[in-house]
Structure 1
Amino acid sequence: MKNEYQECLDACLACMEACNICFDACLNEEDVKMMANCIRLDRVCADTCSLAAKAIQSDSPFKEEICRLCAEICAACGEECNKHSHEHCQMCADACFRCAEACRRMITA
């Protein structure tokens, strides 16, 4: 597997985990309603990262297209999480931005 593919795979799995942790922690925040968009994006981002990881692992002919979409969703999730000062949101934002960048690098490799 190309180095860029492995980096992207690792970033997708790390981002999926960070989004799942953030999702769960947001549900336990005092004002859950305020966290609704964060929770929603955490879910779609984790699911997309999972799909991207599977596409890379199976050498799908659509892996570039899936990773392009994954980069867009990760960037959106990272921007949303970055709006919140909670530690889990900040950690998620960092993982999302790293994943978006890794996906972009893989696509252009």
Structure 2
Amino acid sequence: MSIPKFKECIEACNICAVYCDNCAASCLQEPNIEHMAECIRLDIQCAQICRLAVSFMAQNSEYAQDVCQLCADICQKCGDECDQHDAEHCQECAQACHLCASLCASMVA
């Protein structure tokens, strides 16, 4: 595998991580934080796995596909959770997560 092959996936992972960070921080400002707990938890985990996937792809690691598969799974779950909330930051995060999940899954296939 070569880094150019990963370019689109790396960009999607970086964007997703930023949206997840923003979503988690914004959810903490919501009036009912308890209602947003799962969203915040998944945002944090999704941002972390996206950054790990970027690192493995940049290193052209033999484990990049394994990490990207896990990234696709977590991004999908995070996107599904965010999609359940009406807040604009959640909806934007859901879009970024679902795109990242799709690109990571395609890269692994």
Instruction: State whether TM-score is above 0.5.
Output: yes
Structure 1 alignment gaps of length 5 or more: none
**Distance across 2 between alignment mates of 1:2 and 1:60:** 10
TM-score norm. by structure 1 comes to: 0.96
**Distance across 2 between alignment mates of 1:107 and 1:40:** 25
1:16-59 per-position Cα deviation (integer Å, ceiling 9, x unaligned) = 00000000000000100100000000000000000000000011
Which residue in 1 is equivalent to 2:27?
26
Q: Does the 8 Å CA contact 1:71/1:99 hold for their aligned counterparts? A: yes
Count of aligned residue pairs for this structure pair: 108
C-alpha displacement of 1:2:
5.5
Tell me the secondary structure at the aligned position of residue 76 of structure 1.
Answer: helix
Matches within 5 A, 1:36-51: 36-51=37-52
Which residue in 1 is equivalent to 2:98?
97
| Amino acid of the structure 1 residue aligned with 2:60 | D
Question: What do you get for the CA RMSD once the two structures are aligned?
Answer: 1.0
Tell me the secondary structure at the aligned position of residue 7 of structure 2.
Answer: helix
**Distance across 1 between alignment mates of 2:108 and 2:7:** 12
| Amino acid of the structure 2 residue aligned with 1:99 | C
Which residue in 2 is equivalent to 1:85?
86
TM-score norm. by structure 2 comes to: 0.96
C-alpha displacement of 1:3:
4.8
Q: Does the 8 Å CA contact 2:3/2:58 hold for their aligned counterparts? A: no
